[in-house]
Amino acid sequence: MVRRTKRTYHDEKEVIRRTFVVIALVLFMYATSVAPPSTLARDAISMVGAGAVGMTAGVAPNPDNTLAAQFDAKQRELEAREATVGAQSGGSLTSTRVLAAASFCVSVLVLILVSLNYYMDFRRSRRVIA
């Protein structure tokens, strides 16, 4: 029997395989995550900006200006909620769930195909060496 030595082709192939596995895992984690990375980054940036120090001045509280301040705060809160709902409702909830389920299924399919590729390559390499 002729024993083959390992060439750089196998090493390069291993690098490519590992790269594809990492890409598949990243896509799988992205597909199954609750929020996309862009939303997480935007939230992190807003938290950093929220740490700023500010200074305000005003009149002594009385029933009229406290009631107006409460109405203004409530209005701002409602506008913020409305903007959040408008930004999140790019599609209906059912279409978002269908898209998430389809993305998950594709991710599982890619994971199965990569695993099958590893298995088939392992069997082939054992047959070539033996």
Task: Supply the pLDDT for residue 52.
Answer: 60
| Per-residue H/E/C for the chain | CCCCCCCHHHHHHHHHHHHHHHHHHHHHHHHHCCCCHHHHHHHHHHHHHCCCCCCCCCCCCCHHHHHHHHHHHHHHHHHHHHHHHHHHCCCCHHHHHHHHHHHHHHHHHHHHHHHHHHHHHHHHHHHHHC
Task: Supply the pLDDT for residue 85.
Answer: 79
**Are 3 and 129 in contact, with CB atoms under 8 Å apart?**
yes
Mean pLDDT of successive 10-residue stretches along the chain, which has 130 residues: 55 80 80 68 71 64 78 91 75 72 91 91 77
